[in-house]
Homo-oligomer: A and B are copies of this chain.
């Protein structure tokens, strides 16, 4: 068993735990057998490219996320879920939702200290966030990601996620691209 195999085993185990999936559920979602998933997670097997691809698609992550460790973002205080400024959000629709092109483009501005939470959209929705000004923190995949102006982040938006302006002085503006399945 190689080092990468062991590292990958841990990574796969984390991905499943984050989603609260059983091996059975994961097998259904990925198309890889339950027995094989177990072997991989225990580091007993080195999956092929085809299997890796299935895993990536099933878990809804990119290869880089699948193989490489989760970026160690700044650990945010998750306790402050409720804020008095939840409505401090201005949304301007640039491209409205379109059935045929299944995308949506929004220009969003959050006031200083503002927080916006979402329980998640329907299954398969993906969001891209590009910070246009200020500093923004994005909560996705169970952790906070801090983004400065010009930086971007992308995640599955069919799970709970949130946006927070860390600054107490100036608003944060970001471009929000929503991609529907």
Docked complex Cα distance between A67 and B63 (Å) = 7
Q: Which of B65, B68, B103, B175 contacts A100 (CB 8 A)?
A: B65
Which of A44-52, A74-82, A83-91, A160-168 sits within the interface?
A44-52
Interface residue tally for chain A (C-beta within 8 Å): 45
Chain B residues within 8 Å of A152, by CB: 94-95, 105
Contact with B along A94-121 (1 / 0, CB 8 A): 1100111111010000000000000000
Copies of this protein chain in the complex: 2
- Write out the residue numbers on chain B whose beta carbons fall within 8 Å of the beta carbon of A130: 94, 105, 175
Is there an interface contact between B46 and A103, defined as CB atoms closer than 8 Å? no
Q: Within A118-158, which residues are at the interface with B (CB < 8 Å)?
A: 126, 128, 130, 150, 152-156
Q: Which residues of A contact B (CB under 8 A)?
A: 2, 4-5, 8, 46-53, 56-57, 59-68, 94-95, 98-103, 105, 126, 128, 130, 150, 152-156, 175, 177, 179
